[in-house]
A and B are shown apart, each in its own frame.
Chain A
């Protein structure tokens, strides 16, 4: 099947007072129609920058240095700002981690929703308001007629995130980028939001690019997973293979460091060390300093993203060891 979004060898850079800083390099992945792709990584791994590159929201000093971002064949890195504005909301929209900072605190929920609707759909004010109420009903907000008159501070975190989802999905976009949509929420509310996102996107046929650091959420929602580390994609595969047979030592370490919910009292295996600060200048693999499998070869040579068969990609020289050793 044709891909909806195709990110090809994208390098994003920021201009700073200390010169140009490369944030992510050579990022490639595809999102197919209607699927949920999760991008996993720790803070600083470049997952949010990748999302902002797609949305063209990098700010004045950030830009896509190389590569193309094809949405339905249109290169988002090349289109004009005006065209991009038309695509945002209609074809691709985004929800953020902090639903409080994403909503305007001095405007009512209704005003903000109606504004967003009328920018994209030619509707009278009354009809737009009706649609806004319908949409709030749909995302499970009780007494929607009352809520549209309220300000964001009157709503809880979960309710605010529902408003964001309503706003993002009102034009039925083909792609929704969800940047840590449940990180700021309590677990019971997180479960509700996961269910809501899943059912709505299925109904609308919207593909989701889910950015998260929580492998539990990934296991729950994703069809395929992209693992990022230090600005690079290190592993790409479907969700079942990732948890069963990870082929990058970073993924293995990440899986070992989450406490399981069954009561077994096994020791947590932490990944030693932290992301090197100068990872762009390293001659070899960016994970080598924390990797249990690293050899001298890894420290001096850059691994490429290689296909291990059936579309399972990994950026590691030693992946065969992981395959033989099983889930190390």
Chain B
């Protein structure tokens, strides 16, 4: 079997709780508590859970934005160390955030926003940067005219496309998608989901797709992990999770989802 692209082994992210006299540390918040999984090249792992279950913290820990309390994260079989390899790792792993309104610098034009990572990491020679920016914009379905405009001139869906273009600029192998469609309208969500799928086909990307809705995750994931209170309670292929959920919490989550069909009112009939 191949080496997994990403291996997460017994990862824990704890935050100390300090209270009372002299700010003594009394306990921990166990945001991520002993989580392990693997993602293979070209695969999409969906990570589902409700707010506060630690799914975003896990995503941020993998990309080095939160400190790792305990455990090990391997990328391409090698242990990751953000202190020494930040530059080379950030070329391999990128993140797309939930809120396209706050994740783009409002003072930079789209052209500058996309050129910045290219310059910092020397991805293309200086004289080819403009060409590369155009290519990135076209990749996510925007036109070249976007270059001179500022983030506020774009709608939510368009901004999320810009966020994706920026993540793609460094030609990463793994993209962590932290609820990338939650803030968007239904019809726009479908556009962005289709874009993620198309990019995966074209560029052979690997995704860790974090979401609170099972609908979106089912559509894009090969495998799904369900997270509850810092732990993964169930993991399996998308088909297994939807057709034959094993854990009580997964069943509850599936049952709570309103079905868009008035002839099958499940929520009002069940107690």
Contact = CB atoms under 8 A, between A and B. Distances in A.
A269 interface: yes
Interface in B116-135: none
A216 interface: yes
A259 B215 contact: yes
A243 B194 CA distance: 23
B15 to A, nearest CB: 19
Contacts of A255: 260
Interface of A: 42-43, 186-191, 194-195, 198, 213-222, 239-240, 243, 253-263, 265, 267-272, 274
B252 to A, nearest CB: 6
B176 to A, nearest CB: 21
Contacts of B218: 259, 261, 263
B191 A263 contact: no
Given A215-B260, A243-B260, A261-B257, A220 B265 contact: yes
B212 A186 contact: yes
B87 interface: no
A258 B186 contact: yes
A258 B219 CA distance: 10
B189 interface: yes
16 contacts: A42-B186, A186-B50, A187-B212, A190-B256, A191-B256, A191-B267, A195-B271, A213-B185, A219-B262, A220-B262, A254-B186, A258-B186, A261-B214, A261-B257, A261-B259, A270-B193
Q: Is the interface of B mostly helix, strand, loop or mixed?
A: helix
Interface stretch (B143-151, B165-173, B235-243): B235-243
A239 to B, nearest CB: 5
A286 to B, nearest CB: 14
A240 B262 CA distance: 6
A140 B189 CA distance: 34
Contact of B188 (A240, A260, A274): A274
A312 to B, nearest CB: 15
A216 B257 contact: yes
Given A243-B261, A268-B219, A270-B190, A261 B242 contact: yes
Contacts of B115: none
Contact of A187 (B158, B238, B257, B266): B257
A271 B258 contact: no
B54 interface: no
Contacts of B261: 219, 243
Category for how many chain B residues contact A: 35 or more
Contacts of A221: 268
Given A263-B218, A263-B243, A270-B191, A219 B260 contact: yes
A272 B262 contact: no
B157 interface: yes
A196 B9 CA distance: 42
Interface in B44-87: 50-51
A243 B260 CA distance: 8
B189 A257 contact: yes
Contacts of B268: 194-195, 198, 220-221
A274 B155 contact: yes
Contacts of A271: 187, 190-191
Contacts of B191: 270-272
B6 interface: no
B253 interface: yes
Nearest to B189: A257
Nearest to B219: A259
Nearest to B249: A188
Contacts of B190: 256-258, 268-271
A213 B188 CA distance: 12
B187 A42 contact: yes
A238 to B, nearest CB: 9
B254 to A, nearest CB: 7
B144 to A, nearest CB: 18
